[in-house]
Amino acid sequence: MEHIRTPKVENVRLVDRLASKKAALGTLYLTATHVIFVENVPDTRKETWILHSQISTIEKQATAATGCPLLIRCKNFQLLQLIIPQERDCHDVYISLIRLAKPVKYEELYCFSFNPQLDKEEREQGWMLVNLSEEFERMGIPNNYWQLSDVNRDYRVCDSYPTELYVPKSATAHIIVGSSKFRSRRRFPVLSYYYKDNHASICRSSQPLSGFSARCLEDEQMLQAIRKANPGSDFIYVVDTRPKLNAMANRAAGKGYENEDNYSNIKFQFIGIENIHVMRNSLQKMLEVCELKSPTMSDFLWGLENSGWLKHIKAIMDAGIFIAKAVSEEGASVLVHCSDGWDRTAQVCSVASLLLEPHYRTLKGFMVLIEKDWISFGHKFNHRYGNLDGDPKEISPVIDQFIECVWQLMEQFPCAFEFNERFLIHIQHHIYSCQFGNFLCNSQKERRELKIQERTYSLWAHLWNNRADYMNPLFRADHSQSQGTLHLPTTPCNFMYKFWSGMYNRFEKGLQPRQSVTDYLMAVKEETQQLEEELEGLEEQSEHLKKC
């Protein structure tokens, strides 16, 4: 609270961006966790709540006759334009928010004060909803080829990996440790997804420290072990998700990529996805387009193209499609890496898994997928989404892109996903909200040290309890689209990828379709269920009466 210079400012106006003539008059409050704007209209007293952790930038604009404008941009793409009558108040709000939006300690985050009135037992159950051991069991692991390794107990080998890792049975501790020394940040190849039907697998790692000529016998043995774990194929793909030029540049720093001559029976493949800095700038450019005031069609399409955003989405999808095809059609295992193996690798592995595995297209399965490929494998949520004050160059919309890939797939396969668009939007929101503990920190190790599970609540339980809101009415477990692999063309046409207005303009309701087919169909289905129950009751009654 010591950072709040002024807790309350009256006669503030909230400007409607689409109709700038319309502005709501109200009172602005700053609390320890939220910015709250309450409209003066006595009947409704409409409230707008913004979590401090959602604030991305705050811009104080030149004072005008009407007051001092303050522009707040949020990470969930909300844009708030306030006009504060007094320059002094505006300055105080500005200074307070700058500090509040950039907490320096985890303890300042909302999840440590958020209390949904659940008891201890309910909280613990919430954290148990998503269980990765169960997930590997569901895949059929451990089996004759794969086993659980305890080599990373107490994070001895790799501090950004989880403790429970699945590796080929033939990979001894010696091989693993040897391989880990030859990989960036010791992120050695481990199992991400196992395709039961043909034993092919998706494994992930970081780049090898190959430089121009270095080799590592254990690393070569590790890849061989992965190949042997799939008796159906005599080679594995190694997919480097970086542009070739970037990978080559890394060699000068003693890193790089696998030399096909040194590894027996690998097929090496580059699939160029740009790095986090390019993606950050791309999103920035696209958001500038979304912010344009009454743009022409040309402004919009030009801006969208110049941002490159959809091109990047397509690159991630292309990589996922390549891997899914290698696994399901060629029956070959794939090792995926980028530089550190926690951004592009996470994107690509999870897109490929989603294409291959119907379970990940269910509500519960999708939570498991994020838990597995993102949270447990050490995607740096804190750095990427700027939860704590840190290096702005580390921030990048990596998981946002994955979430968008899922939406693009939902547009192509409307019956394939158990969940709806709202589910994706709310997950994106909570990755930034810090209201739940799931996405805190940069690794499992840090989360355990912070005792996240004892001190905060799990988003997954929250979403699960409200699952009625997140259902896709077109989903049926026995529908052909919810079976097996989703087949996209190998090189999907450019026009398949569309601007996601439901996400990037989500707070501008005026731009969205005014009637929701999803909500309409959900209401019909709910009524259908009631009718089914009533019908059953009536049939019983009628039977009964006939007997009488």
Task: Note whether 117 binds another protein by CB under 8 A.
Answer: no
Both tokens assigned to 540 = 């019983």
Interaction between residue 514 and another protein (CB under 8 A) = yes
Q: Is residue 153 within the footprint of another protein (CB under 8 A)?
A: no
State which residue, 194 or 475, has the beta carbon closest to another protein.
475
Position 288 contacts another protein (CB under 8 A): no
Alpha-carbon distances, residue 371 vs 127, 194, 245, 473 (angstroms):
11, 16, 32, 25
- With tokens 């990427």, the residue in question is 384
Contact yes or no for 174/184 (Cβ under 8 A)? no
Looking up tokens 């838990």, which residue turns up? 371
Q: Interacting stretch for another protein, rule CB under 8 A, among 238-246, 275-283, 448-456, 514-522?
A: 514-522
Q: Which residues pair with 72 in a beta bridge?
A: 58, 80
Q: Which residue reads 């799939």 in tokens? A: 230
Q: Specify the stretch interacting with another protein by CB under 8 A; choose among 8-16, 332-340, 381-389, 536-544.
A: 536-544
Per-residue contact string for residues 312-351; x = within reach of another protein by CB under 8 A = --x-------------------------------------
Residue closer to another protein, measured from CB, 83 or 409: 409
Cβ-based neighbours of 402, under 8 Å, separated by 6 or more: 316, 346, 347, 350, 351, 374
Using the Cα atoms of residue 402, residue 407, residue 410 and residue 412 in order, give the sign of their dihedral: negative
Which of 290, 348, 349, 395 touches another protein by CB under 8 A?
Answer: 290
Torsion of CA 315, 319, 322, 324, to 10 degrees: -130
Least spacing, CB of residue 540 vs another protein, in Å: 10
Binds another protein by CB under 8 A, chosen from 21, 154, 296, 392: 296
Q: How many CB atoms lie within 10 A of CB 326?
A: 22
CA–CA dist 241, 367 (Å, integer)? 24
The whole-angstrom separation of Cα 276 and Cα 273 is 9
> Angle between the 421-433 and 363-370 helix axes, to the nearest 10 degrees?
30
Contact 440, 390 (CB under 8 A): no
Smallest gap from residue 330 Cβ to another protein (A) = 22
Q: Which of the residues 158, 338, 349, 441 is marked catalytic? A: 338
- Kindly state whether residue 297 participates in binding another protein, applying the rule CB under 8 A: yes
Q: Which of 302, 329, 451, 467 binds another protein (CB under 8 A)?
A: 302
Check residue 546 for interaction with another protein (CB under 8 A).
Answer: yes
Residue 468 touches another protein, criterion: CB under 8 A: no
User: For another protein, which stretch binds (CB under 8 A), given 112-120, 196-204, 321-329, 413-421?
Assistant: 413-421
Q: Report the residue from 412, 453, 465, 485 that binds another protein according to the rule CB under 8 A.
A: 412
511 is a site residue for another protein (CB under 8 A): yes
Q: Is there a catalytic annotation at residue 338?
A: yes
* Contact in structure between 102 and 382 (CB atoms under 8 Å): no
Residue 131: Cβ within 10 Å count: 13
Contact set with another protein (CB under 8 A):
18, 290, 294-302, 304-305, 308, 310-311, 314, 412-416, 473-474, 476, 479-481, 491-499, 501, 505, 508, 510-515, 517, 520-521, 524-525, 527-528, 531-532, 534-535, 538-539, 541-542, 545-546, 548
Which residues are tagged catalytic? 338
